Amino acid sequence: MASFLGVDIGTTSVKAGLFDERGRCLGKAEHDYPLHTPAVDRVELDAETYWPATVSVVRRALAESPTGAHDVQALTISSQGETTIAVDAAGRPLHPALVWLDNRARSQADRLRAALGPQVYARTGIPEVNPTWSACKIAWLVEHHPDITAAAHMFLLPGSFIVHRLTGAFVADGALICTTLLYDIVRHTWWEQAVRLAGINLTQLPDIRPMGSVAGTLKDAAALALGMPAGLPVVLGGMDQVAGAVGSGNVTDEIVSESTGGALTIQVTLGRPDLDPRGRVPVYEHALPGKYLFDPVCDTGGMALKWFRDTFAVDEVAQSVRTGGSAYDRLTQAAARVAAGSDGLIMLPHLTGAFSPEYNSLARGVFYGFTLAHRREHFARAVLEAVAYMLRRNLETLSAIGFEAREVRATGGGARSRLWRQIKADVCNLPVVSLRESDTALLGDAILAAVAVGRHDSLGAACAAMVEVGERLRPDPAAHALYEEAYRRYGELYAALDPLFRTHFADGGALAR
């Protein structure tokens, strides 16, 4: 039985999944790790964390499979975008990874915004220059750690970091690096002006190859660590959001998909990058040659629920360790007992700033309207509803430029919650469709691997064979009527607080410190 291995290097975990050529999961594993937040606006991780996590999940996924490693035809690596790792010539990290959620590079973002001017969106598909992008993080390293940046052989994203560990090659694909602010999505090359302004040289950036191409073959040492045969093709899987679009079958302009992982993202396939005349919708490079993705991003989607779980559901987490089950399931079961609208409680889920469509890195999380009658399950439901409100805001942004969704395919870890999918359907007044495989980045990786070694003729053919639609949840009219008022208040609340965010939290803000 031919099988295909996907590995996705996420913000707070690494996942691996093994699939056959019909898209059936043969084995899956996940390894969580905590982020380090040494100060306000700083989010780091020891980059070496990614490698043992990768080894762990690959070995466990293979152990679950009825066939094991000997039938694997190829493996694909996808990852989060923007997270920046400075490495030496051997690929060893020189500094903690600056995670994409890190906002320390504000002054560098301001400088790059002023220097690059209005050409940024046309060149990169990035609507707003902010500290998220790799160019800004690199510029911060150049300014604050010139010894490290001078010694850096390469600046890599997590996917390229692991690909190098597997193959010895320093390579990246356009769908991974398209949000670095260093990549020209029209010419498909590094943007030399931005690279120079960030303070580094082109020689310090990896070679660019197409998403879905073979980066190299598995080295002996890496093969031994993973328990896999040496010489296996290693395929470039792009950014997790693009791999996830492939894994949801989003390879035509008729499908809208959303992913609630650490972030919330929405994907629409496009034939060209310049369809938003306002320049407000992020554009990514697609796995399909010559195609693009409109991909609005909200920084804290599932991350908001994870924060709530880790902060306010310690007992549920401990119970899950003792007896099994999921702390998330226990939280959402409690939230299901609360009426739509959380009895007037509204959350703004901007725990690391707001991105699409607000673009305010100074925004903060807010719970608004709680009373003595509100209990923890109200707050849990308000988190779920807040992410649904962000989804609706971005669907409305897409509607304003002519893309009307008829339904939404729900993917990512959040899609496992039937309650969350129903809330999204009720808030957006659209059917929300689940897929047989909710970890669509892993399935997308497997699809790319299958196409790379010729088991399927094209991405379209592979998606038709390997992606299967699951349950369709239709909006409840009564719940939607309640959410109309709650959604209006959500928008009014953000509009009222936006100027306060920009005043109170500029340069960190005295209260933030």
DSSP 17-52: EEEETT--EEEEEEEE-PPEEEETTEEEE-GGGHHH
Q: What average pLDDT does the segment 176-197 reach?
A: 97
Instruction: Show the domains of the chain with their CATH numbers.
Output: 3-240 (3.30.420.40), 301-405+476-506 (3.30.420.40)
- Whether the per-residue pLDDT at 28 is higher than 50: the answer is yes
Q: What are the residues facing 25 on neighbouring strands?
A: 19
Distance CA 451, CA 218 (A): 18
Give all strands (DSSP E) within 150-263, no chain letters. Answer: 154-156, 171-173, 183-184, 189-190, 207-209, 214-217, 233-239, 256-260
Query: What is the DSSP pairing of strand 408-411 with strand 256-260?
Result: parallel
Q: What average pLDDT does the segment 319-330 reach?
A: 88
**Cα dist from 285 to 126, 178, 186, 243, 247, whole Å:** 11, 6, 9, 11, 16
- Confidence (pLDDT) at 347: 97
Res. 105 pLDDT band, cuts 50 70 90 = very high
pTM: 0.85
Res. 17 pLDDT band, cuts 50 70 90 = very high
Long-range contacts of 490-497 (CB under 8 A, 24+ apart): 490/346, 490/348, 490/386, 490/389, 491/393, 493/346, 493/348, 493/366, 493/368, 494/348, 494/354, 494/358, 494/363, 497/348, 497/363, 497/366
Taken in order 374, 351, 174, 405, the sign of the CA dihedral is positive
81's tokens: 């975008």
Burial (CB count within 10 angstroms: exposed 0-12, middle 13-18, buried 19+), residue 333: middle
- Whether the per-residue pLDDT at 349 is higher than 60: the answer is yes
- The length of the chain in residues reads 513
Q: What are phi and psi of 5, to 5 degrees?
A: -105, 130
Our CA angle for 243, 293, 386, nearest 5°, is 85
Contacts of 495 (CB under 8 A, 6+ apart): none
Burial 74-105 (b: 16+ CB within 10 A, else e): bbbbbbbbbbbbbbeeebebbbbbbbbbbbbb
- Centre a 10 Å sphere on the Cβ of residue 36 and count the other Cβ atoms it contains: 14
Q: What are phi and psi of 206, to 5 degrees?
A: -70, 160
Helices 418-428 and 327-335 cross at an angle (nearest 10°) of: 40
Res. 510 pLDDT band, cuts 50 70 90 = very low
pLDDT in tens, 227-267: 999 999 999 999 998 999 999 999 888 889 998 988 898 99
Q: What average pLDDT does the segment 158-179 reach?
A: 98
Q: What average pLDDT does the segment 19-30 reach?
A: 95
Q: Which residue in this structure is represented by tokens 């590995």?
A: 7
Give all strands (DSSP E) within 94-187, no chain letters. Answer: 97-98, 154-156, 171-173, 183-184
- 3-state secondary structure at position 307: helix
Rounded to an integer, what is the distance from CA 361 to the centroid of its chain?
17
pLDDT in tens, 360-403: 889 999 999 999 999 999 999 999 999 999 999 999 988 888 88
Res. 509 pLDDT band, cuts 50 70 90 = low
Residue of higher predicted confidence among 418 and 296: 418
**Cα dist from 382 to 71, 277, 302, 344, 416, whole Å:** 45, 34, 13, 9, 18
- Whether the per-residue pLDDT at 129 is higher than 60: the answer is yes
Distance CA 294, CA 275 (A): 9
Distance CA 133, CA 470 (A): 35
- Whether the per-residue pLDDT at 221 is higher than 70: the answer is yes
Res. 197 pLDDT band, cuts 50 70 90 = very high
The answer to whether 216 and 230 have CB atoms below 8 angstroms apart is no
Q: What are phi and psi of 435, to 5 degrees?
A: -120, 155
Residue 342 DSSP one-character state = G
Q: Which of 47, 82, 87 is nearest to 157 (CA)?
A: 82
Residue 206 DSSP one-character state = P
Distance CA 315, CA 449 (A): 41
Q: Which of 373, 405, 388, 414 is nearest to 484 (CA)?
A: 388
- Confidence (pLDDT) at 67: 82
